[in-house]
């Protein structure tokens, strides 16, 4: 992390701590203890075997056993993929949380990237050593749910003591649209919230923590010099790519960092079948998807498109972008810093839409899942921490501190803090990225989730490189991807 980024992180974490402590003073318990060991062992009937049904085993928070939630004593184990500035911001939230919940200890530990944490949780499920909560993607949770390892969080939402209560607006968030008031679960960006319900088992098995999507980053300096307009549709994009390549053959017009996202978003945006959560899961081996792939193959062969999968060593396209070899890239907003450079001015825009179709952008970034293993005190404490972290103000502040991520509460976008951030950072890549994505939250989509959906995502991400680099025909590459899904 460079010096400017380190300074920015320190200031943002300080901002998380500073005004929040003042705002939380009225709710601070008299004890200043930093926490103690979790225990609900005095009430063994509230422990839950890991194989039990989350819905049938749920026990409402009982104040006669635990007292006011601010007096709850528990230790929560929280596995994340965070490091660096994101971990510092999360620890800042933890410090704030303990001003109100002094007897709850949150032990946060980074577990590597998303593939790493998925593998480690799979091992922990088998060993009976799962954490209390963990970062996740829905594809991961489908497997955890199949193993009976995760909780139905709808029960927490509806809990009469620690659930979403309209009268407690500080916890619930609050916004008004069209003269209608929305609070609690309805105040979360609905594409993010409903993603946690998109499993084969009815219920809510993951909840959004902080989110990202994809954006179009482009060489603003060159665009201004040439008088090019940022394409708003893919037809315009391909026309611009033709112009760039014919007039400036040394440039690669477009890079796309994720082969899987290119395929999945293309299918979602055009109504082409990709997968289904029920019945025959793997639907992507179809003429419409193959026609889309033919377009991408043609653009690759013309030197107008590269992807991570078609670059040497599967390099991210952002590297060649900052070195002025690629003029436009589609990349994760969570990795906005990788598209930043002092070599030229970087512009940020929404992805193009497909002509005749509404824009759809993919949901990315961490959600949380809660595991069955552990005491009820630990689970209650974890839920209280989740609610605290996703309050309107704190979701906004954590998103800003995480740089490139978005708040998960609708009301977060209307907070004075977030409005000031967008205004004050209009000249930074983070502020410009956030200004774009703030207007896209109604365009979020997520893919069907089932055991094997992560295999499908990986498999379709190999098709373009199989055709472009290995000499397979499109039919052969699709069949290979389909066979990989069927055989696991």
Distance of CA 68 to the CA centre of its chain: 32
Same domain for 374 and 230, yes or no, is no
* Unique residue bearing structure tokens 């025909």: 473
d(CA 34, CA 37): 11
Tell me if 445 is assigned to some domain.
Answer: no
Same domain for 313 and 413, yes or no, is no
Q: Indicate if the pLDDT at residue 406 is higher than 80.
A: yes
End-to-end CA distance of the chain: 38
User: Quick one: angle between helices 84-100 and 376-389, nearest 10?
Assistant: 110
Which one has a higher pLDDT value, 249 or 20?
Answer: 249
Q: Across residues 73-88, what is the average pLDDT?
A: 91
Tell me if 305 is assigned to some domain.
Answer: yes
Tell me if 446 is assigned to some domain.
Answer: no
Tell me if 354 is assigned to some domain.
Answer: yes
Same domain for 252 and 327, yes or no, is yes
Same domain for 347 and 375, yes or no, is no
pLDDT for the residue 30: 31
pLDDT for the residue 22: 34
User: Quick one: angle between helices 287-301 and 474-487, nearest 10?
Assistant: 120
In which band, very low, low, confident or very high, does the pLDDT at 182 lie, cut at 50, 70 and 90? confident
pLDDT for the residue 320: 95
Q: What share of the chain is helix, strand, coil (3-state, %, to 5)?
A: 50, 15, 35
Tell me if 26 is assigned to some domain.
Answer: yes
Domain housing 124: 3-212+365-437
Say which CATH number the domain at 174 has. Answer: 3.40.190.10
In which band, very low, low, confident or very high, does the pLDDT at 463 lie, cut at 50, 70 and 90? very high
Same domain for 423 and 460, yes or no, is no
pLDDT for the residue 402: 77
Q: Indicate if the pLDDT at residue 76 is higher than 90.
A: yes
Tell me if 148 is assigned to some domain.
Answer: yes
Report if pTM > 0.95.
Answer: no
Same domain for 426 and 357, yes or no, is no
* Pair of tokens at residue 165: 């209560």
Tell me if 208 is assigned to some domain.
Answer: yes
DSSP-assigned letters across all residues of 395-439: HHHHHHHHSS-B-SBGGGGGSHHHHHHHHHTTTSHHHHHHHHHTT
Q: Across residues 203-228, what is the average pLDDT?
A: 96
Q: Are 259 and 464 in contact (CB under 8 A)?
A: yes
Same domain for 392 and 288, yes or no, is no
Q: Per residue in 90-103, pLDDT tens?
A: 999 999 999 999 99
In which band, very low, low, confident or very high, does the pLDDT at 39 lie, cut at 50, 70 and 90? very low
pLDDT for the residue 5: 39
Backbone angles phi, psi at 198, to 5 degrees: -90, 40
Q: Indicate if the pLDDT at residue 168 is higher than 90.
A: no
pLDDT for the residue 180: 87
pLDDT for the residue 386: 97
Q: Are 216 and 350 in contact (CB under 8 A)?
A: yes
Same domain for 205 and 228, yes or no, is no
Looking at residue 151, the DSSP 8-state letter turns out to be -
Query: Strand pairing partners for 409?
Result: 188
* C-alpha dihedral, 475 to 303 to 325 to 226, nearest 10°: -130
Q: Indicate if the pLDDT at residue 271 is higher than 50.
A: yes
d(CA 128, CA 46): 18
In which band, very low, low, confident or very high, does the pLDDT at 462 lie, cut at 50, 70 and 90? very high
Q: Are 116 and 79 in contact (CB under 8 A)?
A: no
d(CA 421, CA 12): 11
The tally of domains found in the chain comes to 2
Residue 140: which of 298, 371, 344 has the closest Cα? 371
pLDDT for the residue 25: 36
Q: Indicate if the pLDDT at residue 249 is higher than 70.
A: yes
Tell me if 341 is assigned to some domain.
Answer: yes
Q: Indicate if the pLDDT at residue 21 is higher than 50.
A: no
In which band, very low, low, confident or very high, does the pLDDT at 314 lie, cut at 50, 70 and 90? confident
Q: Which of 148-157, 158-167, 356-365, 454-463 has the lowest mean pLDDT?
A: 158-167
In which band, very low, low, confident or very high, does the pLDDT at 468 lie, cut at 50, 70 and 90? very high
298-304 contacts at long range (C-beta below 8 A, 24 or more positions apart): 299/238, 299/241, 299/254, 300/464, 300/468, 301/468, 302/245, 303/245, 303/249, 303/252, 304/238, 304/241, 304/242, 304/244, 304/245, 304/252, 304/253, 304/254
Q: Look at residues 437, 461, 476 and tell me which one is the last residue of a structural domain.
A: 437
Same domain for 36 and 154, yes or no, is yes
Q: Where are the alpha helices (DSSP H) in 128-274?
A: 138-146, 154-158, 169-172, 190-195, 220-226, 234-247, 259-270
Q: Indicate if the pLDDT at residue 7 is higher than 90.
A: no
Same domain for 320 and 429, yes or no, is no
Same domain for 262 and 380, yes or no, is no
In which band, very low, low, confident or very high, does the pLDDT at 84 lie, cut at 50, 70 and 90? confident
Q: Which of 10-19, 53-62, 93-102, 463-472 has the lowest mean pLDDT?
A: 10-19
Residue 465: which of 256, 285, 185 has the closest Cα? 256
pLDDT for the residue 171: 64
Which residues have CB under 8 Å from 131's CB, separation 6+?
77, 78, 79, 121, 124, 371
pLDDT for the residue 20: 42
- 226 burial (CB, 10 Å; 0-12 / 13-18 / 19+) is middle
In which band, very low, low, confident or very high, does the pLDDT at 10 lie, cut at 50, 70 and 90? very low
Q: Per residue in 360-376, pLDDT tens?
A: 999 999 999 999 999 99
CA–CA distances in Å: residue 271 to residues 284, 293, 444, 485: 11, 15, 15, 21
pLDDT for the residue 169: 62
Q: Across residues 165-188, what is the average pLDDT?
A: 82
Same domain for 248 and 265, yes or no, is yes
In which band, very low, low, confident or very high, does the pLDDT at 16 lie, cut at 50, 70 and 90? low
In which band, very low, low, confident or very high, does the pLDDT at 269 lie, cut at 50, 70 and 90? very high
Q: Across residues 212-223, what is the average pLDDT?
A: 96
Q: Indicate if the pLDDT at residue 46 is higher than 70.
A: no
């Amino acid at each position: 992390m460079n010096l400017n980024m380190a300074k920015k992180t320190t200031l943002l974490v300080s901002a998380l701590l500073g005004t929040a402590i003042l705002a939380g003073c009225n709710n601070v318990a008299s004890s200043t203890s930093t926490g103690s060991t979790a225990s609900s062992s005095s009430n063994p009937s509230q422990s839950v075997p890991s194989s039990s049904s989350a819905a049938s085993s749920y026990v409402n928070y009982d104040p006669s056993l635990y007292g006011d939630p601010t007096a709850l004593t528990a230790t929560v184990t929280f596995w994340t993929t965070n490091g660096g500035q994101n971990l510092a911001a999360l620890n800042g939230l933890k410090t704030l949380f303990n001003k109100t919940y002094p007897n709850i200890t949150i032990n946060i530990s980074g577990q590597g990237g998303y593939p790493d944490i998925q593998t480690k949780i799979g091992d922990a499920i088998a060993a009976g050593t799962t954490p209390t909560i963990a970062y996740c993607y829905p594809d991961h949770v489908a497997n955890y749910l199949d193993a009976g390892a995760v909780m139905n969080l709808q029960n927490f939402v509806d809990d009469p003591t620690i659930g979403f209560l309209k009268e407690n607006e500080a916890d619930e968030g609050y916004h008004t649209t069209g003269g209608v008031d929305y609070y609690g679960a309805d105040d979360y960006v609905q594409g993010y919230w409903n993603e946690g319900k998109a499993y084969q088992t009815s219920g809510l098995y993951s909840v959004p923590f902080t989110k990202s999507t994809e954006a179009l980053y482009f060489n603003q300096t060159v665009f201004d010099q040439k008088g090019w307009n940022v394409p708003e549709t893919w037809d315009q994009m391909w026309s611009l790519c033709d112009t760039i390549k014919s007039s400036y053959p040394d440039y690669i017009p477009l890079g796309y960092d994720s082969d899987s996202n290119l395929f999945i978003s293309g299918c979602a945006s055009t109504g082409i079948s990709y997968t289904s959560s029920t019945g025959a899961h793997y639907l992507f081996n179809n003429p419409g998807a193959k026609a889309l792939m033919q377009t991408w193959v043609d653009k690759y062969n013309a030197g107008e498109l590269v992807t991570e999968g078609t670059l040497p060593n599967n390099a991210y396209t952002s590297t060649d972008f900052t070195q002025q070899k690629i003029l436009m890239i589609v990349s994760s907003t969570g990795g906005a810093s990788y598209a930043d450079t002092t070599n030229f001015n970087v512009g940020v825009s929404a992805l193009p839409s497909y002509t005749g179709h509404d824009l759809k952008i993919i949901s990315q970034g961490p959600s949380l899942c809660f595991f069955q293993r552990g005491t009820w005190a630990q689970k209650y404490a974890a839920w209280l921490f989740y609610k605290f972290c996703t309050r309107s103000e704190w979701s906004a502040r954590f998103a800003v501190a995480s740089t490139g991520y978005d708040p998960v509460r609708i009301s977060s976008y209307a907070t004075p803090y977030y409005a000031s951030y967008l205004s004050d950072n209009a000249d930074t890549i983070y502020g410009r990225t956030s200004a774009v994505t703030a207007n896209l939250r109604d365009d979020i989509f997520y893919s069907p989730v089932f055991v094997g959906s992560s295999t499908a995502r990986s498999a379709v991400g190999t098709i373009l490189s199989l055709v472009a680099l290995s000499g397979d025909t499109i039919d052969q590459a699709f069949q290979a991807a389909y066979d990989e899904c069927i055989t696991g």
